[in-house]
Amino acid sequence: MHLMYFTEQPMSAYDAKAGLDFGATALMFPNSHFDPVQGSRLYNEYLEHYILADELGIDGIMLNEHHNAPFCMQARANIFASALAAATKNCKIVMLGNPLPAWDNPVQLSEELSMIDMLSKGRLVSGFVRGGGQEQLAGGINPAFNRERFEEAHDLIIKSWTTPGPFRWEGTHYQNRVVNPWTVPLQKPHPRVWIPGVISKETIIWAAQHGYPYIALNTPVERTRQIWDLYDTAAAEVGFKGGPDYHGLLKQIHVAETEEKAIENARQFMWMQGEFTGLAHPVWSTPAGYGSPENRRAFVEFATGRSKSPRYRPALEKQMDELMIIAGTPKQVIEKVRILLEETRPGILAFWGNDGTVSHEDAKTCIRLLGTEVFPAVREIAKSLDLKSPFETNQPVSTKFMNLPAQPVKAAAE
């Protein structure tokens, strides 16, 4: 099993009441509430957390990226990944991930990721995402072209990693007269690609069709099972068998030396769920054209009061009962994770360990207990359940989409 540590890296040092009063904490929430002195402190604390995780033998550090919102300070995850490539020695640097539609030049992204792969001596796992709805508006991107841009940018990146240049790319959304990057990945044919997601059926199927592991982001147990069924069915249709090494799961899990302290800190997970921040304006988060008709219909039903939000989360106690949030001493967490693994059977498990205003020292205690007590026990449980990661099964990197036709480069004067 591949075990990772994750946090959204929130900008928690601001007045949460300001966000509640404004009614949303993304896109239009004024950045006058951002304090760069506190931001500097938090960035360096997060870096210290990740270095500690590496020293404790945690398999991977999961990074993501969001824009125009305090719930995530990662305005460009590749910058933090570069710092980790130099500051860590063993852990995988797992990007989950870069929002492809936000890039106007995917070849430059391919170069940045290649640099990270070389700096880390081949420890990069490159994940790609579509990005949030409000981020399309922040980037001036037509939401209706989000998926088209995602898929074309992916194809161009894979080709730039695997096809010697120079060649041309004349696509629908990207045109490059010369594709000839002089930084290419250390890993061959290219770094592993993992795809994270929450509710998009189309993304699950796309990941399966490409042979990429899919990482379900904090989904309920029953929903997670449905995702695996959909993924494995789509995988079988293109000729390969899914299973645990293609299944990943992110879960909010906090461990402390006492149950009382763990529950106190686990309450900070509600920070991200809209109790303190993470407030989504429905029109900004789901702009017209961004989602599939099915998801758009669910949004309309929610907006008209006919259903709950698909991201609705109940009280902390109920979430703990349903294994949406796990908190406790190492022994308590291990037993809950055992049930989670038996119910969902992932080969990749990311621990969303800290959130909100959990203190620097409490966050380090959580990471220390994960590395020294929880993860060793979870690895043994995974062995007993035959839950293996892509690295343990030596899952091959898909080459199905590496052979897109190259267009010759014409003379520069043409």
Instruction: Check residue 25 and give its pLDDT.
Output: 86
Instruction: Check residue 15 and give its pLDDT.
Output: 86
**What's at 359, amino acid-wise?**
S
Q: Is the dihedral of CA 231, 232, 237, 239 positive or negative?
A: positive
The C-alpha R_g of the chain, in whole angstroms, comes to 21
Q: How is residue 409 annotated by DSSP? A: P
Helix (H) or strand (E) holding 215: strand 214-217
Is there a contact between 118 and 182 (Cβ–Cβ < 8 Å)? no
User: In CATH terms, is domain 2-384 a member of 3.20.20.30?
Assistant: yes
Instruction: Check residue 310 and give its pLDDT.
Output: 47
Three-state secondary structure call for residue 110: helix
Ramachandran assignment for 386, one of left (phi > 0), alpha (psi -120 to 50 degrees), beta (any other): left
Length of the chain: 414
Instruction: Check residue 304 and give its pLDDT.
Output: 46
Nearest to 65 by CA among 44, 52, 80, 82: 80
Is there a contact between 382 and 341 (Cβ–Cβ < 8 Å)? yes
Whole-model pTM: value is 0.92
Instruction: Check residue 134 and give its pLDDT.
Output: 85
CA 235 to CA 401: how far, in whole Å?
15
Q: How is residue 63 annotated by DSSP? A: E
Instruction: Check residue 396 and give its pLDDT.
Output: 81
Per-position pLDDT tens, the chain of length 414: 999 999 999 998 888 888 888 888 889 999 999 999 999 999 999 999 999 999 999 999 999 999 988 889 999 999 999 999 999 999 999 999 999 999 999 999 999 999 999 999 999 999 999 988 888 888 899 999 999 999 999 999 999 999 999 999 999 999 999 999 999 999 999 999 999 998 789 999 999 999 999 999 999 999 999 999 999 999 999 999 999 999 999 999 999 999 999 999 999 998 777 666 667 777 788 887 887 776 666 655 555 454 555 445 678 999 999 999 999 999 999 999 999 999 999 999 999 999 999 999 999 999 999 999 999 999 999 999 999 999 999 988 766 656 666 666 654 333
- Side-chain half-sphere exposure of 164, counting CA atoms within 13 A: 0
- Domains of the chain, by residue range, sit at 2-384
